[in-house]
Structure 1
Amino acid sequence: MNVEVIQLTKRYGSTLAVDAIDLKIPSGAYCCLLGPSGCGKTTTLRMIGGHEAVSSGAVVIGPRAVGDAPPSERGTAMMFQSYALFPHLTCRDNVAFSLRMRGVAKAERRTKADAMLDLVQMGHLADRLPAQLSGGQQQRVALARALVTGPKVLLLDEPLSALDPFLRVRMRVELKRIQAELGLTFIHVTHSQEEAMALSDLVVVMNGGKIEQAGDPRTVFERPASAFVARFIGGHNVIALPEGKVAVRADRMRLGADPGAGAVQARVLAVEYQGASVQVALEADGMTEPGGLSAVLDDATFAGRPLAPGDRVALGWDPDAAHRLDA
């Protein structure tokens, strides 16, 4: 089901948390709301789901504006950052709980709960209590519980933040599989650029209650709309030139002989080995960008001409690697 917000605004007293944003999310899309803490992404998610009152503007889900409709009447389900499973109920009963509250017969709710647990690959642990599960297993049960009522839109509030890095990658794969299999619209709040790039069809970068840029992951990464997006998405240097600011990807910076356009002398500040690549932090003459500059070299290139902190090196880039920024 498609979701649209129109001039959506949220105020807390004199604080403007979400500032008249417009956004269209196509039916069946995986959308990630991405941004730093306090940017308004979770508040936006909660207003879409009816868990937060709208100050002004509209939320449209499918063919109708939902206005003040309660969460149960919006065709949405929320998966919260805290899984909040009932400790005294088995996995099956946790998943079936919302069906029980709706008066669904015991046999039917058991069948539906078991089907959802199978979908998230937890059917073999249906009779366990939450305390007997790992964090990743609890997350799968919480996901099954959110899906069992048959929502058209699933809202996820930083669902992977409590997991270790290895499990986070595995669960990203699972979320994408389940979303594609069910054909649902997923709206997923995250502060992780990597997570948003890996999961989404539509990335929405928020800052200060506004949308800085919305687009497919490749477009947002390759062509950031502003200096904020370039810096927040990561992997870019924001460079002030006489004709205006540009963003240049760190892996397209050139070091050493014949460094390319805009060549300057730079000093190596730090070298960080990352396996397949090496990240070199640099301080360039005449450039005082926050956080300095960086270049990413593949391991073989770095091994052929290693650098160490304190080394001086020529730094530049190919002209077509520079993307002009609007702001």
Structure 2
Amino acid sequence: MTRVDTAERARGGRAPERGTDTRGTPRPRLHRSIRSLRGSGPWKRGLVSAALALALGLLMLLHGRITDRGGIGSLVETFLPWFGLGVPVLLCVALWRRSASATIALVLPVAAWLSLFGGLLGDRAQSGGDLTLVSHNVAAENTDPVGTARALIGSGADVLALEEISEGARGTYEKELARAYPHHTVQGTVGLWSKLPLSRTRPVDTEQDVGPLGDSKPASAKLVDNRALRTTVATDQGPLAVYVAHLGSVRVTSDGGFGTATRDRNARALTRALAAERNERVVLLGDLNGTVDDRALDGLTAQLHSAHDEAGSGFGFSWPAKFPVARIDQILVRGVEAKRAWVMPETGSDHLPVGTAISW
């Protein structure tokens, strides 16, 4: 520096001032700060990726605390397993940035995802089973009810539940299934076909206005389009109470929300009906328009447990049939043990049939 200063003075110039380059041009401090961060070590690089990884992990751990205003909570919980796809994406970013902090931060979302869904990765099926049950939303728009009925007969189910039976297709299903299933009942848009005798059959009013705390109010409308039923199947091991239900659809609303009001009301009414059920052995089959992670079904999953979670393989996604992304078709049980659970191939509906084998 002494030689440079001397040379500058010898030429009659001045030494550069602090904060300027050799030409006297000011060097922006912000620019120097950015360059300093770019040249920082592996623990300081990728801080944004690390923050995103921590946010992803907290989202999965605390999904139950997300507000359900506009149905946002239900939307998140419906597709919760897919949030795990964020982990490999963030891992690639962390490796590209050579960021130790972003890589270590991924431990949280990985641990959260495994705690929620790690148990679904393997095959949980067991041998045996005394009774086989299949549930299928056959879809009102199904153009091949004959083919659907024959595919369901081929499942070998002892008890078969159908949802979303249109008035026009009802006769077809009754005709095609009659030989394999001598006992059946249809209540509104849901029905049950059985190889074993049925008794104490009745519709279940899922339109009654039951509040989240269990307070019941008179229904504002009459039971016109019934969407649930209850019956007793006579087995060699004793009576089995079977419920079939099709809860209200969940739709994106015009204001960008996630409409769940009808589904949630139906779920509360069904929860109330199951709480009053005196039979110790209970099976609920149907299109519940929600996954078992969805808070709207907490009242149901507190009383019954998922046959697929207990004895299935993988996630068992059932909707939409062309590219399933969620399991909204459920078989929930109480007082019996699920031995095997599976998802069947397409039948012409936008849902896939689901089945389980239970044991006493």
Q: State whether TM-score is above 0.5.
A: no
Structure with larger Rg: 2
**TM tier relative to shorter chain:** under 0.3
What TM-score do the two structures reach when normalised by structure 1? 0.27
What TM-score do the two structures reach when normalised by structure 2? 0.26
Structure with the largest fraction of strand: 1
